[in-house]
Structure 1
Amino acid sequence: MKLIKMAAPLVAGLGISIGVLGAAHAQTVKIGVIAALTGGGAPWGMAAAEGARIAAAEINAKGGLDVGGKRQKVEVIAYDDQYKAADAVAAYNRLVRQDGAKYVIIMSSAGALALKQNVEDDRILALTSSYSAKAIDKNSKYMFRLFSDAYDYLPALIAWTRDNYKERRVFTLNPNDETGWDQSKLSEKVFKQNDFTIAGQEVYERTLKDFQPLFTKVIGLKPEIIDLGSTPPATAGLMIRQAREMGYKGMFIKTGGAGPKDILAGAGKEGVENMVSVLYADPKNAGYQRVAAAYKKSTGQEPNEIVVPFYDAVNVLLQAMQKAGTASDTTKVAAAFGKALPMASLQGDQLTLGGKAHIGADQQIVSTMYIGVMKNGEAVVVGKAR
């Protein structure tokens, strides 16, 4: 199993300490990140690690987190779970048992589901970007979803597509795991509610690279739209390129797991033209551009837009610590999320606490998502979905 404790020069000290604070600081707030730092999900995983790192660096640059009048530095430790549940469990155990982290970010649904009970038993406050409806339920006290999920934004995204395009015959493709199953089930329901016809559905293994046999079947059903659902960005780019090479001329829509730059890199500008996609950020927003610049300075790469909700979630977490007056008592910090929210997001939208309507508990940071359309190689924001 591959665990990566990230250090310079890749992310300028992530996993050691971030910022230079005086020796008088008696305590350190440790935030662990369990994410896919390699493989197809790496754009999301790196965004998770860097979003946390940038938020921590900003706090440390101001002298640390002020909790009850005492300044504490914030340290971020990131491990690679390669999108595998077993690796996520190993990373969690190392973070909690060896590194002493009381707070963790869990990127994947596989990791969140594998660690759901551990989090509650250990009273470790966890922030997850899991799309699975099973990751959080009415009994969850320490697991929070860190942004709006498909239940929140998908109705607006699909309604916008209905109102702006004449195509109505849809085939949906998703990974063969908890994330993909949930996305497939929900998207079918919402498409039908908006007068679309489901031509078919399919799930595929995340390790798959040759999609020609799959697209032979899909194209044969004559869909006007192919929804790539929660497919990772790099894989989505590969799928679009192969589908176009096989003669598919219809639309693509990306109802989950955004990453237009990574999709563009794999599919080419003509391949993604007019693709409709959910976006985690507005690329033109000044707040996004500031964090994107910090990301690029640290990694030498452009970020996936999901860096924004990870950055925002860490700031909500740190604000909850301040409201609770403690960084060591996770029970009090979890209870303080309702005091930390609402608050402004990086992009100026409002973050609120919600989720009870569909997960049974207010254990979710409700954020604003954006609707984008690919035009001449760029994602153009055409609306908001919340």
Structure 2
Amino acid sequence: MKLTKLAWTMAVACSLTGGLPSAAHADSLKIGVIAALTGGGAPWGMAAAQGPKILASEINAKGGLDVNGKKYKVEVIAYDDQYKAADAVAAYNRLVRQDGVKYVFIMASAGALALKQNVENDKVVALTSSYSAKAVDAKSKYMFRMFSVAADYLPSLMEWIRDHYKERRTVTINPNDETGWDHAKLSEKLFKQSGFQLLGQELYERTQKDFQPMLTKLIGLKPELIDLGSTPPATAGLIVRQARELGYKGLFSKTGGAGPNEIIAAAGKEAAEGMISILYADRASEGYKRIASEYKKAVGQEPNEILVSFYDGASVLLNAIQKSGDAQDTSKVAAAFSKALPMPSVQGETLRLGGKATSGADQQIMSVMYIGVIRNGVPIVVGKAKS
């Protein structure tokens, strides 16, 4: 039976409550997730929702989160914004006004920018995976960026590509929205600084499926490298497949937003061979294997590796809540991020607080980004991008 949008949203929300039976002695600590649970960004969105849920289940299994001697059941409520700002605002209002949520994860740039002032006005602690430079700035007190972003790691990644490949003639493809605009502008600057010849840039609508006219134009420029920037994974795979069908033989890179499994599934193993990609996870690490296994049990498929970032983000948030000593006072919790970090990630890397150099405020969890290359249908970690 087909679920209505409301029924689907409620079903998702109910499925993410963390697994602790009701108990009179345990109050609820509610965490909201606003993410693209359907559409092209769904691999990211489902991982965004499941990362905090997995952590919540682990904590609840041990009796809940201890904050100054008081136990809290961690409850995760996720709503679908379909990568649309209006839907993100609606989801936020429901979480904060109806569900009583004080802590929110916001996946997309469009949602983060639309809600930026709401977060500050309402004193809601929010963590975002937004790639937009505008999502966090010197005035931000309650909005935190969840991981190192393109401005942090791209210089190192592009230097690595330059040092390991001879290809220089480059074109870029990005979605036509805030995320894509920011990434296109930054990559244009850094590709040129790193010695690449930028032949052209294209923006597309997120609903687009037929890329052949655009690709015909770009391939006519005779590029040696096509960078797919911040394109969602499934869409990136579709572009790769269509470019190969048109005869393109060169390299592909994915410099923003990882998703090699979805790219390979959409493009095919042979078409995706050799793609260079930024990765959130080292899939060989024991920490990743553990939470990926939990994701697969819950969802029935392999996760997008952004799962790691949302799991780590939730870990930092809950650590900050504990350090604050008061789960109800979000001002104390926001201030306690500096006490919660540094701390280890689920993969054993060090997470630290930073971001002032790029955003004007230390409101960012600085994380390790890996450099990967797809070989024989598998993303292989070949290095780390400095940030």
TM-score range, shorter chain: over 0.9
Per the alignment, residue 34 of structure 1 pairs with 34
TM-superposition CA deviations, 1:256-283 (whole Å, max 9, x none): 0110000000101111111000000011
Which amino acid letter does the alignment assign opposite residue 186 of structure 2? Answer: L
In structure 2, the residue corresponding to 1:110 is in which secondary structure? helix
Matched, 1:319 2:319: yes
Q: Which amino acid aligns with 1:18?
A: G
Separation in structure 1 between the aligned mates of residue 21 and residue 342 of structure 2, nearest angstrom: 31
Supply the AA of the counterpart residue of 2:203: V
Aligned 1:333-344 pairs, distance under 5 A: 333-344=333-344
**Can you list the C-alpha shifts for 1:154-177, whole angstroms capped at 9, x where unaligned?**
111111111110000110000001
User: How far off its partner does 1:246 sit?
Assistant: 0.4
Instruction: Give 1:201's aligned residue.
Output: 201
- Is residue 302 of structure 2 the alignment partner of residue 302 of structure 1? yes
Instruction: Tell me which amino acid in the other structure corresponds to 1:95.
Output: L
Q: Secondary structure at the match of 1:231?
A: coil
CA contact under 8 A between 1:18 and 1:76: conserved in structure 2? no
How many residues align? The count is: 382
CA distance in 2, matches of 1:131, 1:258: 12
What amino acid is aligned across from residue 230 of structure 1 in structure 2?
Answer: S
Aligned-partner Cα distance in 1 for 2:114–2:5: 18
Contact 2:241 2:266 in 1 (8 A): yes
Counterpart in the other structure of 2:88: 88
Tell me the TM-score normalised to structure 1 length: 0.97
Please give the alpha-carbon distance, in whole angstroms, between the structure 1 residues aligned to 2:329 and 2:271. Answer: 51
- CA shift for structure 1 position 23: 1.9
CA–CA distance in structure 1, aligned partners of residues 18 and 378 of structure 2:
36
Q: How does 1:55-134 map to 2 (within 5 A)?
A: 55-134=55-134
CA contact (8 A) 2:16 2:53 kept: no
Q: Aligned runs of 1:82-231 on 2, under 5 Å?
A: 82-231=82-231
| Maintained 8 Å contact 2:124/2:142 | yes
- Asked whether the 8 Å contact 1:5–1:15 carries over to 2, the reply is no
Q: Does 1:24 align with 2:25?
A: yes
CA distance in 2, matches of 1:107, 1:252: 25
Contact 2:295 / 2:302 at 8 angstroms: preserved in 1? yes
Question: Per-residue deviation at 1:75?
Answer: 0.2
Within 1, Cα distance between the matches of 2:285 and 2:22? 31
User: Partners in 2 of 1:376 and 1:178 — Cα distance?
Assistant: 34
Q: Which residue identity does 1:53 align to in structure 2?
A: K
Name the CA distance, whole Å, in 1 between partners of 2:96 and 2:349: 33
Query: Which letter does structure 1 place at the counterpart of 2:218?
Result: V
Aligned to 1:14: 15
Q: Tell me, in whole angstroms, the C-alpha distance in 1 between the residues paired with 2:93 and 2:23.
A: 29
* Deviation (angstroms), 1:20: 2.4
| Residue 22 (structure 1) shift | 2.6
C-alpha distance in structure 2 between counterparts of 1:255 and 1:113, whole Å: 22
Preserved contact between residue 253 and residue 275 of structure 2 (Cα < 8 Å) = yes
TM-superposition CA deviations, 1:72-124 (whole Å, max 9, x none):
11000000000000000000000000000000000000000000010000000
In 2: Cα distance, 1:296 partner to 1:373 partner: 24
Shift of 1:6: 5.1
1:155–1:373 distance in 2 versus 1, CA, 3 Å: same
- 1:291-321 CA-to-partner distances (Å, cap 9, x unmatched) read 0000000010100000001000000000001
Q: CA RMSD in A?
A: 1.2
User: What's the CA shift for 1:19?
Assistant: 1.9
| Alignment-mate amino acid for residue 288 of structure 1 | Y
Classify the secondary structure of the residue corresponding to 2:322. Answer: helix
Q: Cα offset for 1:21?
A: 5.1
Letter in 2 for 1:74: V
Going from structure 1 to structure 2, the CA distance change for 1:17 and 1:163 (only over 3 Å counts) comes to closer
Separation in 1 of the partners of 2:369 and 2:56?
24
Structure 2 gap segments, 5+ residues each? none
| Equivalence for 1:52 | 52
1:359 and 1:43 mapped to 2: Cα distance?
28
The amino acid across from 1:61 in the alignment is A
Structure 1: gaps of 5 or more residues? none
State percent identity of aligned pairs.
70
Summarize deviations over 1:298-350 as a string: whole Å, max 9, x none.
01010000000100000000000110001110010000000000000000000
Structure 2 CA distance for aligned equivalents of residues 94 and 16 of structure 1: 16
CA distance in structure 1 between the aligned counterparts of 2:10 and 2:235, rounded to whole angstroms? 25
